[in-house]
């Protein structure tokens, strides 16, 4: 069996930046084992699989090299990019995913792709897990948590950029991952409101280059702290990525660019 595969760099307009995702569209679902094997072979942050139903809804599932992921923003952006390119007349795409319901995706006037996600604002943690404290070289100022991750607040950009981690310790927080973040204050990041990094040794690997799902929590967290509902975020991984965020009640709109890296076929 041959399957078309597209690899897209998401949250960037430059190849080799942002976060890469593979997109595979099939008429019917492949087996879970096969989808996981393909994701493992691809060895990207995520591989998304899409099946169109009779009602025009695109059902989507996301797999890291290690496991199926409940919610992935950058692979949703990559998937929408592929579908918009294949069907230029489409103005809106509706994705359906078990964990987050129906997601509405549109193209904005400036060419970006905007995704309508649930607001997953985290709550402050009073008792910080020892594994989190031991797993980071710099002590948190504050810690928040939602169903996806712990969110570590730092006061200085240098802390976010330079923190070292013990992956074995952070794995003990499974199934939760770890985000470190601070307000953007330096000249290097003058165009952004906040920066972050995302560590996920329990679910996908070492450090995720750009994590759209995390910004459904980061955006409302920083919106409250900064007193503004429209924010521009930078994920400060080696590849880097830019996310436009709008907090609107129980929804968070996240927009970004995407660029094609590869189209090909895999044989399974």
Domain boundaries, the chain: 2-114+256-267, 123-249
**Distance, CA of 93 to CA of 104 (rounded, Å):** 6
Secondary structure element (H or E) that encloses residue 248, with its range: strand 241-248
2-114+256-267 topology per CATH:
Diaminopimelate Epimerase; Chain A, domain 1 (3.10.310)
Mean pLDDT of 99-121: 94
Q: Is 46 a catalytic residue?
A: yes
pLDDT above 90: residue 118: yes
* Model pLDDT, residue 109: 86
- Beta-strand relationship, 123-124 and 101-107: unpaired
Give 56's pLDDT tier (boundaries 50, 70, 90): confident
Predicted TM-score of the model (pTM): 0.94
Give 51's pLDDT tier (boundaries 50, 70, 90): very high
Which one from 4, 41, 46, 207 is the annotated catalytic residue?
46
Domains 2-114+256-267 and 123-249 share a fold: yes
Across the chain, mean pLDDT equals 96
**Distance, CA of 209 to CA of 7 (rounded, Å):** 15
| Per-residue model confidence as pLDDT tens digits over 143-183 | 999 999 999 999 999 999 999 999 999 999 999 999 999 99
Q: Are 36 and 109 in contact (CB under 8 A)?
A: no
* Model pLDDT, residue 227: 98
Mean pLDDT of 16-44: 97
pLDDT above 80: residue 205: no
* Model pLDDT, residue 36: 98
Q: Are 248 and 219 in contact (CB under 8 A)?
A: no
| Per-residue model confidence as pLDDT tens digits over 65-94 | 999 999 999 999 999 999 999 999 998 999
Superfamily of the domain at 123-249: Diaminopimelate Epimerase; Chain A, domain 1 (3.10.310.10)
Give 203's pLDDT tier (boundaries 50, 70, 90): confident
How many CB atoms sit inside 10 A of residue 203's CB? Answer: 20
Secondary structure element (H or E) that encloses residue 152, with its range: strand 149-153
Percent of the chain with pLDDT over 70: 100
* Model pLDDT, residue 147: 95
pLDDT above 90: residue 13: yes
* Model pLDDT, residue 55: 87
pLDDT above 80: residue 204: no
- Beta-strand relationship, 19-25 and 46-52: parallel
DSSP 3-state of 32 = helix
């Amino acid at each position: 069996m041959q399957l078309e595969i597209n690899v897209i760099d998401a949250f960037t307009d430059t190849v080799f930046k942002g976060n890469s995702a593979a997109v595979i569209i099939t008429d019917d679902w492949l087996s879970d084992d096969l989808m996981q094997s393909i994701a493992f072979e691809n060895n990207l942050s995520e591989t998304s699989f899409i099946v169109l139903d009779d009602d025009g809804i695109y059902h989507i599932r996301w797999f890291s090299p290690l496991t199926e992921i409940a919610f992935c923003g950058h692979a949703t952006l990559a998937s929408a990019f592929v579908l918009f390119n294949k069907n230029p007349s489409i103005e809106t795409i509706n994705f359906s995913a078990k964990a987050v319901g129906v997601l509405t995706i549109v193209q904005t006037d400036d060419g970006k792709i905007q995704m309508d996600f649930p607001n997953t604002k985290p709550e402050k943690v009073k008792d910080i897990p020892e594994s989190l404290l031991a797993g980071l070289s710099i002590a948190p100022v504050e810690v928040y948590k939602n169903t996806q991750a712990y969110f570590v607040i730092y006061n200085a950009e240098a802390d976010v950029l330079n923190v070292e981690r013990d992956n074995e310790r952070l794995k003990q927080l499974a199934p939760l991952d770890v985000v470190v973040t601070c307000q953007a204050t330096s000249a290097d990041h003058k165009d952004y409101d906040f920066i972050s990094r995302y560590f996920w040794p329990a679910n996908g690997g070492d450090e995720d280059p750009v994590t759209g799902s995390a910004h459904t929590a980061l955006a409302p967290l920083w919106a409250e702290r900064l007193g503004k509902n429209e924010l521009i975020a930078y994920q400060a991984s080696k590849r880097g990525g830019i996310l436009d965020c709008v907090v609107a009640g129980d929804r968070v709109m996240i927009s970004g660019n995407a660029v094609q890296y590869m189209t090909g076929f895999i044989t399974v």
